[in-house]
Chain A
Amino acid sequence: MQKVFEKPVSIDEKPFSYCAGCTHGIIHRLVAESIDELGIREKVIGVAPVGCSVFAYEFFNFDMCSAAHGRAPAVATGIKRARPENIVFTYQGDGDLAAIGTAEIVHAAARAEKITTIFVNNAIYGMTGGQMAPTTLVGQKTDTTPYGRKVENQGYPIKVAEMLSTLEGANYIERVTVISPAHVNKAKAAIKKAFQYQIEGKGFNLIEVLSTCPSCWGMSPIKAIEWLKANMIPHYPLGVYKDGAKTE
């Protein structure tokens, strides 16, 4: 009998502990498939963030460490500078990357670090129970914006892909989502390309993945997908923001 589907080697035995309907699991799988297909599993060093994916090092089957909140790009820089022959990536959420770790990601991109970042944007702090994130939409209700995010009080959500693509050091920046099989295929291609670029010695590479958080959004998984499509994509348009760093 022909085997048509199996667990990627880059995914470990430990079952995912993510909530039902959360898209972290899909994104993990896309990262693992990309790494398997590129044949780099034994060269990869991953950096887990603080947030829902804090235990990513338990789910992936390759060398990983965990970083302090927001510091993954700095940690990845230290690893890559020490071992330039390895493939180094960070896996970060929106609070980690776009709030407490804004300086680290901006400067890693500005330095054109030869690393890859998988940025999962679900517009909320999931791990701590649903507080406002830097990417929370205007009007969106969270634990800490119970009346909805108000511009007068909390300002505007940060568009990470757009912001980082203004930096000369950024090589490849694309925003994708995983809310349908077609979107998943596109996301996979983007993630794989972001690793391929690093193999070619190019960086900085970041894929922003619009993701759902049914638990903290207070919706069913299907409703969450509809909400993402109706609210997040208009504010965070999908597409390639940068492809090819400025070269001298």
Chain B
Amino acid sequence: MGEKVLMKGNEAIGEAAVSAGCRHFFGYPITPQSELPAYLAKKMPLVGGVFLQAESEISAINMVYGAACAGVRVMTSSSSPGVSLKQEGISYLAGAELPVLVCNVQRAGPGLGTIQPSQADYFQAVKGGGHGDYRLITLSPSSVQEIIDLIRLGFDLADKYKTPAMFLADGMLGQLMEPVDLGEYKSEIKEKPWALSGCEGRAKNTVTSIWINPEEMERHNIHLQEKYAEIKKNEQRWENFHFDDEAEFLVVAHGSMARIAKSAVIKAREEGIKASLIRPITLWPFPENAFSSLKSLKKILVVEMNMGQMVEDVRLVVNGRIPVEFFGRAGGMFPTVEQTLGKIRGLIK
């Protein structure tokens, strides 16, 4: 255990990225993630890294594509409207199988929306925001410590599977300041023999996402799906909170929302309700294994800072075994502890 320091979520993203060996950041300003590029603008020159403010989100994600082609650990960050602009690039990254980390510190939409926190980009992240049949490893942190851990994990998983990863936080976590233990972390960055480095002493390398011949394009799609199946098998992550054999009620929530929901679960338990919670950490792959046994559960409540997105995945995996209800608020508003508790009470009756 190292010494704990207080750190703001947005800054923790930057600090964790640097500790994970990321030395290249390309981004475009947008609220509420501005502390992150500001932090990296200061930090990168001190560690021999590159910070570059691009002329657009589109340009930023394509600079990321270039740096990933060159084989370095690279990251970009933005907030919802900016991440919409990056979708073209993300599809190309998935197609070209380039490992990068994209951070989305979500705000409320649709459109220009508002800068208050939201989880309304769940669909965009896990169902594919860009064109084509692809998936993004999607990680949802719930504390500043977990921001550190999941940023590091995000780079490692992206490299391991040669695929872009999405770090899906929200404005609340970005602003939140909590103690973190940076620990003794050494990222093992493996050689990338496929990278573009100049063909000295070897045959030329090519990175592309075009397979104009449909047979080849289908083969590439099948290859991607096999890779996604492998990720689904190996990388599901979630947290159980009071989810034991006696639990009668289950709340499912992720990210900031899970923090609020946990407080509600604790209060419900103080009232004698056998409440529990599952917090998906990987949103894709969705932690289906967490729901393999519903034990003594009678009902499930999915709580989100949106109008109902993750609830669809919960319903898919529960597959009608027990009722799955939803409670959410949108537009930068979020369910409070009291409101969530009220829903739990109402449903347990």
A109 to chain B, nearest CB (A): 11
User: Is B7 interfacial (CB 8 A cutoff)?
Assistant: no
Assess whether B59 is in contact with A68, with CB atoms less than 8 Å apart: no
Judge whether B206 and A74 touch: CB under 8 Å. Answer: no
- Determine which of A61, A64, A78 lies in contact with B65 in the assembled complex, contact meaning CB atoms within 8 Å: A78
Chain A residue at minimum C-beta to C-beta distance from B49: A81
A82 & B70 in contact (Cβ 8 Å cutoff): yes
Given A78-B66, A103-B56, A103-B59; A66-B209 close (CB under 8 Å):
yes
Q: A55–B210 Cα gap in the complex (Å)?
A: 9
A143 sits at the interface (CB 8 A): no
Is B71 part of the contact surface with A, judged by Cβ < 8 Å? yes
B63 interfacial by beta-carbon distance below 8 Å: yes
Contacts A43-B198, A68-B89; A74 near B62 (Cβ below 8 A): yes
Residues in A whose Cβ lies below 8 Å from that of B196:
45, 63-65, 79, 83
Bound Cα distance from A74 to B96, whole angstroms: 16
- B251 CB-CB contact with A under 8 Å: no
Interface contact B55-A78, CB-CB below 8 Å: no
Decide: A82 near B62, CB < 8 A? Known: A62-B204, A74-B54: no
For A63, the chain B residues whose CB sits under 8 A away are 196-199, 204-206
In the complex the two chains form, is A82's CB within 8 Å of B199's CB? no
- B182-207 interface mask toward A, CB cutoff 8 Å, 1 = contact, 0 = none? 00000000000000111111001111
Verify A78–B206 contact, CB threshold 8 A: no
- A104 to B55, Cβ gap below 8 A? yes
User: CA–CA, A41 to B201, complex, Å?
Assistant: 11
B96 CB contacts on chain A under 8 angstroms: 65-66
Nearest-CB distance from A217 to chain B (Å)? 24
B24 at the interface (CB under 8 A from A): yes
A133 at the interface (CB under 8 A from B): no
User: Is B199 within 8 A of A71, CB to CB?
Assistant: no
What distance in Å separates the Cβ of A149 from its nearest Cβ neighbour in chain B? Answer: 27
Known: A43-B198, A64-B206. A81 touches B50 (CB 8 A): yes
Total A-B pairs, Cβ < 8 A? 136
- A45-B70, A77-B52, A81-B50 known; A65-B62 Cβ under 8 A: no
Say yes or no: B88 contacts A68, CB within 8 Å.
Answer: yes
Contact A75–B69 (Cβ < 8 Å): yes
Is B67 an interface position by the 8 A CB rule? yes
B198 touches A74 (CB 8 A): no
Instruction: Report chain B residues within 8 Å CB of A83.
Output: 70, 196-198
Q: A78-B69, A82-B24, A104-B55 are in contact. Are A62 and B198 (CB under 8 A)?
A: yes
What are the residues of chain A within 8 A of B63 when measuring CB–CB? 74-75, 77-78, 81
A107 part of interface (Cβ distance < 8 Å): yes
- Shortest Cβ distance from residue B191 to the other chain A in the assembled complex, whole angstroms: 15
Cα-based distance from A62 to B56 in the complex (angstroms)? 30
B207 touches A66 (CB 8 A): yes
B50 touches A68 (CB 8 A): no
CB-defined contacts of B72 to chain A, threshold 8 Å? 82
Once the chains bind, are B66 and A82 in contact (CB under 8 Å)?
Answer: yes
Q: In the assembly, what is the distance between CA of A117 and CA of B311, in Å?
A: 49
Question: Which chain B residues lie closer than 8 Å to A64 at the CB level?
Answer: 196, 204, 206-207
Q: CB-nearest residue of chain B relative to A72?
A: B62
| Residues of A close to B56: CB separation below 8 A | 103
Q: Is the CB of B89 within 8 A of A71?
A: yes
Closest to B63 in A: A78
Question: Are A78 and B64 also in contact (CB < 8 A) when A63-B206, A65-B96 are?
Answer: yes
Which listed residue, B67, B205, B208, B212, touches A78 by the CB 8 Å rule? B67
Which of chain B's residues 59-92 have a Cβ closer than 8 Å to chain A?
59-60, 62-72, 74, 88-89, 92
Q: A65-B208, A81-B50, A86-B197 are in contact. Are A47 and B66 (CB under 8 A)?
A: yes
Q: Which residue of B lies closest to A75 (CB)?
A: B66
Cα of A63 to Cα of B199 in the assembled complex, Å: 6
- Say whether A160 faces chain B, with CB atoms less than 8 Å apart: no
Q: Which of A36-90 contact B (CB under 8 A)?
A: 41-45, 47-48, 54-55, 57-58, 60-68, 71, 74-83, 86-87
Q: How far is the CA of A58 from the CA of B68 in the complex (A)?
A: 20
Choose among A45, A55, A57 the residue with the greatest number of B CB atoms under 10 Å from its CB.
Answer: A45
The yes or no answer to B58 lying at the interface (CB within 8 A) is yes
A81/B65 in contact, CB under 8 A: no
| Contact with A41, one of B24, B89, B199, B206 (Cβ below 8 angstroms) | B199
Which residues does chain A contribute within 8 Å of B24, judged by CB atoms?
78, 81-82
CB neighbors of A among B24-61 (8 A): 24, 26, 50, 52, 54-56, 58-60
Closest 6 CB pairs of A and B: A78-B66, A74-B62, A78-B63, A82-B70, A75-B66, A42-B200
What is the interface of chain B, defined by CB distance below 8 A to chain A?
24, 26, 50, 52, 54-56, 58-60, 62-72, 74, 88-89, 92, 96, 196-201, 204-210, 212
13 further A-B contacts with Cβ under 8 Å, apart from A48-B208, A78-B24, are: A41-B199, A54-B210, A63-B206, A64-B206, A66-B208, A68-B88, A74-B65, A75-B63, A75-B65, A77-B63, A78-B69, A106-B55, A107-B59
